[in-house]
Amino acid sequence: MKLYAEQRVYLIDAQQRQIGKITIERNEDNLIFGKFVPGSDFSAVNRLFQDFEEAANLQALSVVDELDTEIAALGLHLCTSDGSQHIKIHDVQIWSDGDITYRLCDRTLAPVDKVRKSTKPVEVMERSAS
């Protein structure tokens, strides 16, 4: 599955709960940015993300680490709208303003376009050493 700017995917946990819907915006150094709309099961995990944001704002790094471990234990992944494809993700952060960031577990997947919005997939190109 290739990811595209403006593509919409579902955020699902290991229990197959629909946590929300993501509209992918851009990629910056393998960190994917998007907009998040809570799904029917978001209330089950909302407190974790609220606590994470509060701890991050207070720079309570040990608390951030603990919460990050709890969030990782949710087994979050992306799912296409038809449910046919799944992509494992990690380092998921959902913010109160509706922003979401995450990283792909499989770095071989083509990242979204980081500058222009396009319906074409972005190919990863290796730079030759000169």
Task: From residue 129, give the alpha-carbon distance in Å to each of 33, 37, 61, 126.
Answer: 29, 42, 38, 9
Q: Which tokens hold the place of 126?
A: 């290796």
- Give per-residue pLDDT as tens, 47-60: 999 999 999 999 99
Q: What is the pTM of this model?
A: 0.80
**Residuewise pLDDT in 10s, the chain (130 residues):** 677 888 899 999 999 999 999 999 998 888 999 999 999 999 999 999 999 999 999 999 999 999 999 999 999 999 988 888 899 999 999 999 999 999 998 765 645 554 444 444 433 333 334 3
**Contact at 8 Å (CB) between 46 and 38?**
yes
Cα 25 off chain centre by? 11
- φ and ψ at 88, to 5 degrees? -75, 140
Q: What is the pLDDT of residue 105?
A: 85
DSSP for residue 83? S
pLDDT the model gives residue 19: 98
Identify the pLDDT of residue 113: 53
**pLDDT value of residue 106:** 76
